[in-house]
Amino acid sequence: MPKEFVVALDQGTTSSRAVLFDRRGEVRGLAQQAFKQIYPQPGWVEHDPREVLSSQFGALTKLLVSHDIHPDQIDSIGVTNQRETTVIWDRQTGAPVYNAIVWQCRRTAGIIEEVCGDPDIARRITETTGLVPDAYFSASKIKWILDTVPGARAAAQQGRLCFGTIDSWLIWSFTQGKVHATDVTNASRTMLFDIHQGAWSPWLCELFDIPPSLLPEVRPSAGFFGTTAHPGTASGIPICGVAGDQQAALFGQCCFEAGQAKNTYGTGCFLLMHTGQTACASGHRLVTTIAASAPGQARLEYALEGSVFVAGALIQWLRDELGLIESVEEAEALASSVPDTAGVYVVPAFTGLGAPYWDAEARGAIYGLTRGTGRAHLARAALESLAYQVSDLLEAMEADAGTKVGILHVDGGASNNDFLMQFQSDILGCRLARPQSIESTAAGAAYLSGLSTGFWKDVDELRALGAPARLFEPNMTEEMRRARLMGWSEALYRTRGSTRAEGPEQP
């Protein structure tokens, strides 16, 4: 049979999806399966690795069966995944020794304080990995499992256990234990990987007391990762592309060159800028990470990354907690019904402020309320606050990279909101490009896999596939833009309280 499709396995935090792409880069089918979120204690988040695997295999099977696709029609599979989430399993039996500890989980914050409390050690970790020491990343999660689960450390020292982020767990399982590997983008999120050498760091393994035998082989994002041998309808398909979700989205948006950037509008926002073969050290405590590369790249490529903690979650809050709207979609119509916010600003610091402010003690606030303030003003101010946060983040990123972004590529659920996209373009003073399909993460995994096999010839062919469906052009005077940003800055100043006089906090 002719090879007609590439499948992307998009393993996320709350569900697993399988997405079918044709040669034109168009989505021809999608299947999704949710799985349980486990909260053993406040601040703890876990997944059952077996259920994650079952949901991902179930989504793939459903996709092929529902669209009457034979495995021989599939050129290859690309994998993209929630990053940092940690799984450790028995090399012989394939049984996880503990539930997956999810990237959101904060149980290992004490380990980070204990291991990385010395400023010199913290500085060296950042220099080596590009990351700020935090429980977010995999290293402390691995250590917690080895130190806490009875017999785990002894088994690890004997070489009986495997560690992996979710991509490694899926690859190992889908190949029936033949391949224990990850790609450079996922490895760069573990806080054990030297992003300059492109290898696991012996010093960091020793620092966190992690046996190197536990770690997967690290491979380029575009390349062969084995052939599916899982019993059922999806056997015999090569896995030829792997990338963490945000790097996959960057690649899926065809941001292949230094200075190109994308922003994903989800529960939070993830902003990534490609920096080419230069690993830019950040002066604003952004993350330096490895970017996914097309096949044949002799050297690693990098990106700067920053996140907005609260984005789509703010609109959900308006709906679920305040009852100002009945649906997320209603926010756009309501915001567009008034010419401005009447001086209202929302600072959604529900869990503090991230880059470039770094104020963990800040809390959300609404400023500028008058007797004339209505729910439309609040809805508009909430949407505008997302754009202001991205603006501050992009300004910090441009300063770190020493370059200006001409076009910001956008994706994620909230990028469907035309009001938000236009205001974002206005407040940034640059164009926004929204693709026809906002499935950029899955597309990135598919592109990496298809490039590896020759299904697509090169990145120029991908660029031709990725013409944006809509461009948003800035349409605000510079005077108005500055006035809006000054009002936002004043709201931030008031919100930050005791830390405001000290400038951006460096935790």
Over the stretch 69-98, which tens digit does the pLDDT of each residue have?
Answer: 888 899 999 999 999 999 999 999 999 999
Sign of CA dihedral 85, 309, 35, 248: negative
Mean pLDDT of the chain: 90
Distance CA 34, CA 24 (A): 28
Domain 5-237 has CATH 3.30.420.40: yes
pLDDT at 178: 94
The CATH T-level fold of domain 254-496 is: Nucleotidyltransferase; domain 5 (3.30.420)
Query: Taking the domains of the chain in order of start, what are their residue ranges?
Result: 5-237, 254-496
pLDDT digits (tens, 9 = 90+) for 396-418: 999 999 989 989 999 888 888 99
Owner of token pair 């659920």:
413
pLDDT digits (tens, 9 = 90+) for 7-35: 999 998 888 999 999 999 999 999 999 99
- Would you say 269 and 390 are in contact if contact means Cβ atoms under 8 Å apart? yes
At 129, phi and psi to the nearest 5? -105, -20
Distance CA 455, CA 442 (A): 16
Instruction: Please name every residue paired with 270 in a beta bridge, in sequence order, or none if there are none.
Output: 264, 307
pLDDT at 349: 86
At 467, is the pLDDT very low, low, confident or very high (cuts 50, 70, 90)?
Answer: low
Distance CA 188, CA 291 (A): 9
Q: Is the pLDDT of residue 506 over 70?
A: no
pLDDT at 504: 40
At 505, is the pLDDT very low, low, confident or very high (cuts 50, 70, 90)?
Answer: very low
Q: What is the mean pLDDT of residues 120-147?
A: 93
Residue 219 sits at the vertex; the CA angle it makes with 216 and 224, to the nearest 5 degrees, is 110
Burial class, 173, CB count within 10 angstroms (exposed 0-12 / middle 13-18 / buried 19+): buried
At 497, is the pLDDT very low, low, confident or very high (cuts 50, 70, 90)?
Answer: low
Identical fold at 5-237 and 254-496? yes
Contacts of 185 (CB under 8 A, 6+ apart): 83, 221, 242, 243, 244, 247, 248, 289, 290, 291, 292
Contacts of 454 (CB under 8 A, 6+ apart): none
3-class secondary structure, 346:
strand
In whole angstroms, how far apart are CA 79 and each of 59, 193, 289, 366? 13, 20, 19, 41
Residue 277: how many CA atoms within 13 Å on its side-chain side?
A: 5
Q: Is the pLDDT of residue 499 over 60?
A: no
- Would you say 221 and 293 are in contact if contact means Cβ atoms under 8 Å apart? yes
- Would you say 74 and 455 are in contact if contact means Cβ atoms under 8 Å apart? no
pLDDT at 233: 63
**What's the farthest any 2 CA atoms get from each other in the chain?**
70
> Rg of the chain over CA atoms, in angstroms?
22
In whole angstroms, how far apart are CA 175 and each of 150, 224, 236? 28, 12, 9
pLDDT digits (tens, 9 = 90+) for 323-366: 888 887 888 999 999 999 999 999 998 877 877 887 777 888 99
Distance CA 21, CA 291 (A): 22
Q: Quick check: pTM over 0.85?
A: yes
Q: What is the mean pLDDT of residues 283-306?
A: 91
Q: Which residues of 377-403 are buried (b: 16+ CB within 10 A; e: fewer)?
A: bbbbbbbbbbbbbbbbbbebbbebbeb
pLDDT at 232: 67
- Would you say 496 and 362 are in contact if contact means Cβ atoms under 8 Å apart? yes
Q: What is the mean pLDDT of residues 421-429?
A: 95
